[in-house]
Amino acid sequence: MPGTATILAPATVEEVAGRLRELAAGLPPADGVAVFNRLYLTVTEAVRDRLGTGYFTDPSAMAEFDVVFAGRYLLAVAADAAGQEPPACWRPLFALRAHPGVHPLQFALAGMNAHIQHDLPLAVVDLCHRRGCEPGEVEEDYHRINGVLAEVESAVREQLLPGGPDLLEQAEPLAHRLGTWSVEAAREGAWSAVRALWELRGLPGAARAFTAALDGSVGLLGRALLLPLGPREEEQQDPGGLAAAARLPESRSRAAGGGERRP
């Protein structure tokens, strides 16, 4: 069964970013969870930086959503650290985090798969219950985040795809494995799950069954995304995938009220 680990939940978006930095500091760079964690920190800071710019219609709701959403990932991390099973959607990433045949880009997208297609709809429903609103009231801002995620995903794909003389040999199997997954389709599917869960809110048994089925199906997709690519010369020289993982754009942290980021 999934773990029952508890955490001291962050209260602000900056606290979420701080927690992600702490996790990053304690993990080897090539660890599969570390790869996703760096990606998630980049997204979190990008959302944070837009909260006071007029980008969102309701920045207060989006700040609260960011905290609720991140809590589900942090609980999965805590469960694994405590020797408990995280939700099924997260298990492939935690189980294969050190596999030498899995490319860092696979780790990044497997984490996005779990967090977007499972955690995201549950977090939206949680937010609506907390704020006493309907999902439609946050839908516009929900879709505004798509642009942020698309930018980050594009940068991550570019940074983590193999380069050099082995480009075609390594990129072709990656493209085949990952070509059917996109952040846009994942978020559209997640919003459909939000609508279904909201319709089932008065039927707790049906809602639990739907959530369990969603968890399992997302986990199966995550396992497919993480199918090892097989032995490669690069893996023999760099078995942990450290070189590729290190190419993931580093987060340039600053306080929420700080000045401009500089290249």
Residue type, 58: D
Of 93, 253, 89, residue with least CA distance to 186: 89
pTM: 0.82
DSSP for 242-257 reads HHHHHTSPPP----TT
User: Do the Cβ atoms of 36 and 107 come closer than 8 Å?
Assistant: yes
Q: Which two tokens stand for residue 184?
A: 């846009």
- Higher-confidence residue of 64 and 171: namely 64
Is-contact 142 160, C-beta < 8 A?
A: no
CA dist 104 → 21, 184, 205 (Å): 19, 21, 38
All residues at 6 or more sequence positions from 248 whose CB lies less than 8 Å from its CB, including other chains: 35, 38, 39, 104, 108, 156, 159, 160
Q: What integer is the mean pLDDT of 193-201?
A: 98
Specify whether the CB–CB gap between 28 and 38 falls below 8 A. no
As beta bridge partners, residue 85 has: 2
Q: Where are the domains of the chain?
A: 13-230
Note the pLDDT of residue 210.
98
| Secondary structure of residue 2 in the 3-state scheme | strand
Lowest mean pLDDT among 24-28, 139-143, 149-153, 193-197: 149-153
* Bridge partners, 2 (sequence order): 85
pLDDT band at 25 (very low <50, low <70, confident <90, very high): very high
- Per-residue pLDDT of 130-175, as tens digits, reads 999 999 999 999 999 887 888 887 777 777 766 554 555 556 667 7
Contact 42, 249 (CB under 8 A): yes
